[in-house]
Amino acid sequence: CVGLRDPARLTAALNTFRRSGWTMPRQCAMHTYATLIKAYGQSRQLNMAWKLWSDITCKKGLVPSEQLYGQMIDVLVTNEHLDDALVLFEEMKSTHQDHLSSQGFAVAYAMIIKGFAQRKECTRALQCYEDMKVHGTTVGLVVFNTLIDACSRVGDMDAAARLFRDMVDADCMPDLITYSTLIKGYCVRGELDQAMELFTCMRRKGIQPDAIVFNSLLDGCAKKQMPVLCEQVVHDMEEAGVTPSNYSASILIKLYGRCRDLDAAFRVINEMPRKYGFRPNAAVYTCLMSTCIASNRMDLAMDLRRRMIEEGTHLDEKTYSTLLRGALRTGSMEHCALLIHAALDQGGRRLLDEELVQGALLLIQRRRLWEERGRELFDRLREAGVGVHPPGDAQACPGRHHGGRPRTQGRHAAGDARPQRHRFATPKAVFY
């Protein structure tokens, strides 16, 4: 079960052993303890792993081996108990201070670095790396990749580049994960030239790029609004035998949205899925809806909704939020009501953003159609558990729901003969 990483069966097996009264043999090897600690760690039974550790160190008075320390540290880090792992690691260094360069310490350092990386504590992860160099502990591929990923996630590409150079100097060959992590990091930072240089380097070394690499480059080119280069990346994907996906399509639609090329955005959804054999998902449709709304084509966005329904693609919360923002932006009470009723029919409150729904109710009230259209919608929303209130309440119109403004006492006070204008300052449609 441990080897197969099957936590469900592993948990059942361990529980069966306990119920049968099975106990650890008196003369049990460290390796057996390590295996059982690993098993309890995988099944999220951390208390049982600690119990075994206590049996070894307290009841039997044994000194844990480097491998056993490493396994317990691994379990603690994996179960997000990094602070406990650090305490144990300091104990390990004190107990086995003459073997800081061993493979056991290499494994323990790797797990501690992984824990810091998960918490985005890049500085502390790099300090562990420096300690490894001081003690002569071997820094392997996994550690280098973990450190590069930690630096890339916090945007420190200078540190990531230094690690890459150290990696090459140490004759540790970068792999696909190394290049993929660096390329994505540079693309996120907008350093497209560096990303392209690494892409060329990895291909020259015979490392085949995967979908993550190509999509990272595609996203980097899209953010720079470089449609020609994006098309070249897609062409390179085809030549490399990597099939563009829904994620690729979303990136291209965002690109053409930024370039205000609605026709090109529609070509993506009409041609790519058929050409590459995938079905457009909700994310792709939502990206295109945002592009339509930004181009003042709410009608096309609603047509896409109908297309999703016909194809059997469920609208999610982001899709409804995007459409509701568009309906509020265009002041379409009919679209607002249609979308809210449809969301309630499909999945209830989980598909609706309460602030946007409150804005829709305010729109209906301002059109003086509350009793005719708003009351029924409001009652249905409350029955579904959506936290809205009648827009006529003092709490509902304090001037903060989608641009509703408090009444002034100056030129536009009640005595002013000119009608007061109301405007909706709804959030701009954002790309999915």
Count of alpha carbons within 13 Å of 417, Cβ hemisphere only? 0
Choose the final residue of a domain: 277, 296, 314: 314
Euclidean distance between the first and the last CA atom of the chain, given in angstroms as a whole number: 41
Please check whether residues 352 and 273 belong to one and the same domain: no
Q: What is the pLDDT of residue 373?
A: 86
Supply angle C-alpha 14, 18, 20, rounded to 5: 115
Q: What is the pLDDT of residue 39?
A: 80
- Which percentage of the chain shows pLDDT scores above 90? 71
Helical ranges in 277-352 per DSSP H: 282-294, 298-311, 317-330, 333-346
Q: Is residue 46 part of a domain?
A: yes
Please check whether residues 78 and 65 belong to one and the same domain: yes
Confidence category of residue 261, pLDDT binned at 50, 70, 90 = very high
Q: What is the pLDDT of residues 55-65, one digit of tens each?
A: 888 878 889 99
| Token couple for 186 | 């540079």
* Whole-number Å distance between alpha carbons of 390 and 378: 7
Q: What is the pLDDT of residues 65-79, one digit of tens each?
A: 999 999 999 999 999
The least confident of 100-104, 197-201, 423-427 is: 423-427
Q: What is the pLDDT of residues 9-35, one digit of tens each?
A: 666 765 776 666 656 555 566 777 788
Please check whether residues 324 and 300 belong to one and the same domain: no
| Token couple for 323 | 């459409």
CA distances from 397 to 207, 295, 366 (A): 60, 30, 11
Q: What is the pLDDT of residues 118-131, one digit of tens each?
A: 999 999 999 999 99
Q: What DSSP letter does each residue of 87-105 carry, written as one string?
A: HHHHHHHHHTGGGTTSHHH
Residue 304 has pLDDT above 80, yes or no: yes
Please check whether residues 89 and 32 belong to one and the same domain: yes
Please check whether residues 256 and 328 belong to one and the same domain: no
Q: Is residue 221 part of a domain?
A: no
Q: What is the pLDDT of residue 35?
A: 81
Across the range 186-214, mean pLDDT stands at 95
Residue 251 has pLDDT above 90, yes or no: yes
Q: Is residue 3 part of a domain?
A: yes
| Token couple for 153 | 């996630």
CB 227 within 8 A of CB 220: no
Q: What is the pLDDT of residue 27?
A: 55
Please check whether residues 280 and 339 belong to one and the same domain: no
Residue 260 has pLDDT above 70, yes or no: yes
Please check whether residues 325 and 380 belong to one and the same domain: yes
Please check whether residues 375 and 304 belong to one and the same domain: no
Q: What is the pLDDT of residue 11?
A: 64
Choose the final residue of a domain: 93, 109, 137: 93
Residue 396 has pLDDT above 80, yes or no: no
Residue 429 has pLDDT above 50, yes or no: no
| Domain span holding position 376 | 319-387
Indicate the number of domains in the chain.
Answer: 3
Q: Is residue 340 part of a domain?
A: yes
Choose the final residue of a domain: 259, 282, 314: 314
Q: Is residue 11 part of a domain?
A: yes
Please check whether residues 72 and 88 belong to one and the same domain: yes
Please check whether residues 303 and 357 belong to one and the same domain: no
The least confident of 18-27, 127-136, 234-243, 262-271 is: 18-27
The least confident of 39-48, 207-216, 336-345 is: 39-48
Q: What is the pLDDT of residue 408?
A: 42
Confidence category of residue 42, pLDDT binned at 50, 70, 90 = confident
Helical ranges in 174-261 per DSSP H: 176-189, 192-204, 211-223, 227-239, 246-258
Please check whether residues 304 and 331 belong to one and the same domain: no
Q: What is the pLDDT of residues 306-352, one digit of tens each?
A: 999 999 999 999 999 999 999 999 999 999 999 999 999 998 889 99
Confidence category of residue 92, pLDDT binned at 50, 70, 90 = very high
The least confident of 101-110, 122-131, 410-419 is: 410-419
Q: Is residue 86 part of a domain?
A: yes
CB 360 within 8 A of CB 323: no
Please check whether residues 286 and 347 belong to one and the same domain: no
